[in-house]
Amino acid sequence: MLTVGVEEEYLLVDPANGLPAPFVEDVRRTAGLGPLAERDEVQDELLQAQVEVATPVCSDLQEVGGHLLRLRHAVGSAAEENGCRIAATGAAPLRGPSPVPVTPSPRYLRMEGEARRLVDEQLINGMHVHVAIPDPETGVAVLNRVRGWLPTLLAMSANSPLWDGQDTGFASWRTIVFGRWPVSGSPPYFDGAADYERRLDALVASGVIADRGQVYWQARLSERYPTVEVRCPDVQLRAEDAVMLAGTVRALVAAAIADEKAGLRMPHPAPEVLQAGNWHAARHGLNGHLVDPQGQPRSSGDALCFLLEYITPALEEAGDLRQVSSLVHRLLQQGTPADRQRRALAEGALPGLLGLITDATSSY
């Protein structure tokens, strides 16, 4: 059984007007003193209006869901004690007239000096799923095999349609903002672990990025843990949807390992097709066709059925089939979180939207 962990990033907002609230240090301090979260489970982020949580290593999806709810409650309560709310949205729907201050760490301040406008606009929040791997060679094989599924995962997770008070026309505006960094998007195909290491070393040696932490591929090997880290999803409105994505990613990794051991041929989509598929998924979410791992267009419903068919053996082995498949079917019926944000804005204007993205953090 492959273990799994999840990191989530949230926006801190002023409950009165929805603008970003730069109170991360106060929120972290309060959360760390409370009974629901350990100090190292709640971290700051690039900008002071963002906060990140990380679950412990989990063996099953019930653990994932329980820890996410616990951490959401801990950070949400700490935010309210400090006059703000946490919002589970992939992009800030509103920004103030002045940039949010950068968290004053040497690394973040260096990034600010190198790319000021990009840093100012990093009011975006993702979800990262870590799945354990036995060794780096296996991890690189997994990256090669899952990269074709990244557009589908991105479309399923889309939760950032609004920016500066307007509909961007994109389901995941976060993906577009994040894609402006020098090393981003889908990972390339690698000829094994040694090739992976050489290419990361070459990127750092180029002087364009300061360290390996700025390799912002949508899937990569973690530098801190023996895991594959899938980073393409937007943060989710509901913890249950985050659980669905965690179970899906774990099953994809397990299926990739099984295929690699069996010597099965892998899909090898061209980088330009993957790039186009990712852009299309960010643009439309599930309201259009998706590009499958062979680079072919499929309706969103067919693409998700194709995904479920592929990972069903892994889901069955983990005991996750019923939970994940029912949540995927609910997603197809109700739409993505981006669709829910748009409906909330249409039905309740800005107060309705703010109510959705802040209240949903406490629901399962």
- 3-state secondary structure at position 47: strand
* Domain range for 173: 4-362
Where helices occur in 82-135 by DSSP H, the ranges are 106-114, 116-120
Overall number of domains in the chain: 1
Q: How far apart are CA 177 and CA 125, in angstroms?
A: 11
**pTM higher than 0.75 for the full model?**
yes
What's the pLDDT score for residue 34? 79
Convert the pLDDT of each residue in 299-347 to its tens digit: 999 999 999 999 999 999 999 999 999 999 999 999 999 999 999 999 9
Q: How far apart are CA 160 and CA 163, in angstroms?
A: 8
Q: How far apart are CA 307 and CA 311, in angstroms?
A: 6
What's the pLDDT score for residue 33? 78
Q: How far apart are CA 28 and CA 223, in angstroms?
A: 24
**Helix (H) or strand (E) segment spanning residue 219:** strand 219-221
Convert the pLDDT of each residue in 15-45 to its tens digit: 999 999 999 999 999 998 778 788 789 999 9
For residues 229 and 80, is the Cβ–Cβ distance under 8 A? no
What's the pLDDT score for residue 40? 87
> What mean pLDDT comes out for the span 158-186?
97
Closest among 69, 65, 143, 57 to 320, alpha carbons compared: 65
CATH code of residue 242: 3.30.590.20
What's the pLDDT score for residue 35? 80
**167: pLDDT strictly greater than 70:** yes
**46: pLDDT strictly greater than 80:** yes
